[in-house]
Structure 1
Amino acid sequence: MNHPDRHSLSAPDRSALSAPGPLLIVPGAVLLPEGPVDGLAVLVDDGRFQAVGPAEELARTHPQLQAVRLPGHLLMPGFVDAHHHLTQSFGSALAFGEPSEIFRRVWVPLEGALDEESAYTAAKLAAYEALRGGFTTVADAGTRADVDVEVVASAARDAGVRCVLGLVCNDADSPGGPVLDGAGKHLARYADDRLVHASLAVSIPEAATEATLRGTARLAREAGAVVQIHVNEHLAGVERSLVRHGLRPLEYLHSIGVLGPQLLGAHATLLTPRELTLLADTGTAISYNPVASAWKGNAVAPATAMAERGIRFGLGTDGTRGDGFRLAEAAEFAQRLAYGLTTGDSSCGAGWTWLEQASRGGADAVGLGAVTGTVAAGLAADFLLVDVETPELAFSWDLPWELVRRGNRDQISAVFVDGRLRMWHGRPTDWDGPALVRRAAELARAAVGRAEITRAHPPSMAAREVVRAREAARVRERGTAQ
């Protein structure tokens, strides 16, 4: 790591990092695809990395700039959340402990109960959590709230996060409607937006007609965008597809020509060897969502096998929790438990796999590989300043591994999106985060009260009371028997 000189700052200086115009940052190290590199600097201007190179060289070629020197900090790409549902943030623990396909019983009724203010607030709250956790990009799979999708776009912009914004194109219940006209308009609507990138979405393959599945794939391909579809996530969905088409969901999408680089399949936890081959051969991308698998899934996607086969994939939270480091840890941890232990694979991606798929791989999967995901000249300046002089990271033997296993959002000093400082030690720099949380709590209570949510299990403390009642009954029975 670099050491400070007389021009150095002993700690990150918010005013220096917030200054308008070109910004020359000299961190202790920069995380590049080949690993952490000492002695580098980055020049940020107009929302982009204008240069990444030796610190002495950039200081010499830009003598008018006073370098912001940050010894003890790692400058790394921001995390990319390849699968989110921004307007579901009010649900939180409503889905905990529930069986699969909770979207039918929890998410659809909850989003249906949102009005414009509550949809905006829920989306901004989710964006707030994401930014706090180091996510500079989130892919929203489309809201079912009865509001203009611009409400979600505005929330993302106002929060300061980059957003791949899905428009839901479900039409199985109303075939022949104007859904494709709306899809085309949506793709054009955000063509010049700095932070919002249009995407199309179909909840699950059975939610859209064959014509719409084909049409959305075509429109996305022509626009250089992606179509987000939940695919092969739950056993029930796979079985319904087999009954209806004689094919599994992914096989069905392939049979009608929908697989390809424009498709971002969410979850894909239930894959046969043939389906892995289809993904590899077609260039289809997948969002691997390990926390979602643990919390309410039927299986864990075979991500190490995907990596070996060259299948494109990123990491997604599915709205579970917004901490990029903990997501990377979950990605490795889930692979180890599901596959590594049974095969004796003690490496399970060697750490770097999950760090890369959480950034560069995720950007590629959501269709923004040419925009963000890497610290490189010409790409968007979406990055983190991470304090590596914490007890967890101060004496590093293998920093990529340690970031995956021991990193957490508390170590993030600053979050930049599009070249602007957006978060400073977990707080927004230009809007009131605590006020948003307070308002969200009010609106969430009202929305959940209106929604016709059905839960299979009681809340945790009610469940505890059931267990205690059973224990008391057993004690009474034993006493009677004696």
Structure 2
Amino acid sequence: MNQLTKERLRTRGPLLLIPDAVLLPEGVMELYAVVVSAGSFEAVGPTEEIERAYPHLRALRLPGHLLMPGFVDSHHHLTQSFGAGLAFGEPSEIFRRVWVPLEGALDEESAYVAAKLAALESLRGGFTTVTDAGTRADVDTDVVACAARDAGVRCVLGLICDDTGPDTDSAAVLERAEKHLAAYTDDPLIHPSLAISTPEGATDATLHAAGRLADEAQTVLQMHVNEHLAAVERSLLRHGLRPLEHLDGINALGPHILAAHTTLLTPREVTLLANTGTAVSYNPVASAWKGNAVAPATTLAERGVRFGIGTDGTRGDGFRLTEAAEFAQRLAYGLPTGDSSCGAGWTWLEHATAGGADAVGLGGRTGTIAPGMAADFLLVDVATPELALSWDLPWELVRRGNRDQISAVFVAGRLRLWRGRPTDWDGPALVRRATGLAQTAVARAPVIRAHLTSMTARSATVRNTTAQKRSTAQ
């Protein structure tokens, strides 16, 4: 696609797009077209039918491209982007040593830039929706909203409602929650939600009240649940129950809950999720980088548990995320049981798009190419060496897709990224600005790492090896 195609894609009026294929819930459909108007899909169907129905529209043909739903990141921390590399090689529960100190060092400018940087990375990776679990930075949550809106990404924006800390006023927490939920009623990109860091982060009364507010607002209450062994053990000591069991015991589960991670699930807890309609964010890269286990996503799918796939802020590449989702299941569950299909490819695409949208409370708005749905979509180059010789495109997208193959990213019907760069703001300038602010913030934050940086560790290893050789020679 050339510069002329880009300019036509930027047109605000109705667009009649004819790619080589469209990814629908029923599969990859060739000879299909879509009409995009006023931020939504107005029509989707066989090309001949669409062209007959819209003779006044000049068709824009997109040879060599697949039109597919944008990815939905069901769990992110947008204001943690400055410290993404600090987590590498670190043990679990790094939020105490890295994320809380880092976010505490952010001011309004650095929080905005960190969030916008994360949004840019997400868009480059094909994410049209990100779900932010709430910032711990001492700034108004609207700072994050502005960053997401300015970047052009759809955002489910969490507000942390913890109330077990010192000098915390539960009534004030809930009052702030109500204001947050009412603040973005007419915003086309920002969808407010509530968040509680972990079940132990809030009193039972606030867990109930926040859940009720989220349910009434038809949004989600986000919570990290059964993520690490330490959290499970703390809950056992405090309540005699595991975190998910405790939430069920106080009747706090339900379709309005988005439980992040759930890597440590007993068979009974899977049943609790299925019976209550509670949604889950399966975060496979986070499990590999800093987790204790891998959530049993194939079992969740079989049991009908609603779930999306999240990055947890690890890396913003939707195709690599789906590959990680399948790969983690294969290593943790497929190999021991001889399950060579392990979701058959389509499972991970579906839960990274439509399933993710459902899990984060936007199932009626995005995640699917269908009339009336938001025009959040990707144009993917399928004429590349990785995808051109296609025998099973959904599987190939999971195994061989990557963000370099994304030609265009649309959110709410607008072209937001073209070949990896924003179309209406300066992405490289943001990266340069973020570099300076990140250095200042990290230097100011009392971050504690368990391990040395990679090259420092290498130098130490070389010194030790050399010393051992000398000792042996003597």
Q: TM-score, normalised by structure 1?
A: 0.97
1:381 paired to 2:379: no
Helix, strand or coil for the counterpart of 2:340? coil
Residue in 2 aligned with 1:368? 362
Helix, strand or coil for the counterpart of 1:260? coil
Residue in 1 aligned with 2:261? 267
1:459 paired to 2:453: yes
Deviations 1:76-118 (A, max 9, x none): 0000000000000000211110010000000000000000000
| Equivalent-residue separation in structure 1 for 2:210 and 2:467 (angstroms) | 58
1:29 paired to 2:15: no
Residue in 1 aligned with 2:123? 131
In 2 relative to 1, CA 237–68 (structure 1 residues): closer, same or farther, beyond 3 Å?
A: same
Q: Is the 8 A contact 2:170 2:206 kept in 1?
A: no
Residue in 2 aligned with 1:254? 248
**Structure 2: segments with no counterpart, 5+ residues:** none
**Structure 1: segments with no counterpart, 5+ residues:** 1-8
Give the 5 Å matches for 1:157-176.
157-173=149-165, 174=168, 176=170
- Give the residue type in structure 2 aligned to 1:140: D
- Give the residue type in structure 2 aligned to 1:448: V
Residue in 1 aligned with 2:208? 214
1:193 paired to 2:187: yes
| Equivalent-residue separation in structure 2 for 1:69 and 1:93 (angstroms) | 41
Give the 5 Å matches for 1:91-130.
91-130=83-122
Q: Cα offset for 1:293? A: 0.3
- Give the residue type in structure 2 aligned to 1:203: S
Residue in 2 aligned with 1:73? 65
1:236 paired to 2:215: no
| Equivalent-residue separation in structure 1 for 2:320 and 2:18 (angstroms) | 27
Deviations 1:214-240 (A, max 9, x none): 111100011100000000000000000
| Equivalent-residue separation in structure 1 for 2:155 and 2:12 (angstroms) | 23
Helix, strand or coil for the counterpart of 2:145? helix
Q: Cα offset for 1:176? A: 3.5
Deviations 1:262-318 (A, max 9, x none): 000000000000000000000000000000000000000000000000000000000
Deviations 1:40-74 (A, max 9, x none): 11000110000101111111221111101012100
Q: Is the 8 A contact 1:175 1:209 kept in 2?
A: no
1:420 paired to 2:414: yes
Residue in 2 aligned with 1:474? 468
Q: Is the 8 A contact 1:10 1:71 kept in 2?
A: no
Deviations 1:410-436 (A, max 9, x none): 000000000000000000000000000
Q: Is the 8 A contact 1:12 1:413 kept in 2?
A: no
Residue in 2 aligned with 1:390? 384
| Equivalent-residue separation in structure 2 for 1:151 and 1:241 (angstroms) | 33
Q: 4+ residue runs of structure 1 moved beyond 4 angstroms?
A: 9-12
Residue in 2 aligned with 1:5? none
1:45 paired to 2:37: yes
Helix, strand or coil for the counterpart of 1:178? helix
- Give the residue type in structure 2 aligned to 1:111: E
Residue in 1 aligned with 2:143? 151
1:183 paired to 2:188: no
Helix, strand or coil for the counterpart of 1:90? helix
| Equivalent-residue separation in structure 2 for 1:336 and 1:223 (angstroms) | 38
| Equivalent-residue separation in structure 1 for 2:199 and 2:411 (angstroms) | 33
| Equivalent-residue separation in structure 2 for 1:176 and 1:405 (angstroms) | 47
- Give the residue type in structure 1 aligned to 2:422: P
Larger CA deviation: 461-470 vs 403-412: 461-470
In 2 relative to 1, CA 472–359 (structure 1 residues): closer, same or farther, beyond 3 Å?
A: same
Helix, strand or coil for the counterpart of 1:392? coil
Q: Is the 8 A contact 1:171 1:177 kept in 2?
A: no
- Give the residue type in structure 2 aligned to 1:386: V
| Equivalent-residue separation in structure 2 for 1:421 and 1:231 (angstroms) | 36
Aligned alpha-carbon RMSD (Å)? 1.0
Give the 5 Å matches for 1:286-301.
286-301=280-295
Residue in 1 aligned with 2:340? 346
Q: Is the 8 A contact 1:86 1:123 kept in 2?
A: yes
- Give the residue type in structure 1 aligned to 2:139: V
Q: Is the 8 A contact 2:119 2:151 kept in 1?
A: yes
Q: Cα offset for 1:477? A: 1.4
| Equivalent-residue separation in structure 2 for 1:214 and 1:12 (angstroms) | 54
Larger CA deviation: 27-36 vs 465-474: 465-474
1:309 paired to 2:303: yes
Q: Cα offset for 1:12? A: 7.7
Q: Cα offset for 1:75? A: 0.2
Helix, strand or coil for the counterpart of 1:447? helix
Give the 5 Å matches for 1:404-415.
404-415=398-409
- Give the residue type in structure 2 aligned to 1:330: A
Q: Cα offset for 1:465? A: 1.2
Residue in 2 aligned with 1:4? none
Residue in 2 aligned with 1:223? 217
| Equivalent-residue separation in structure 2 for 1:406 and 1:103 (angstroms) | 32
Residue in 2 aligned with 1:3? none
Quick one: percent identity of the two aligned structures?
72
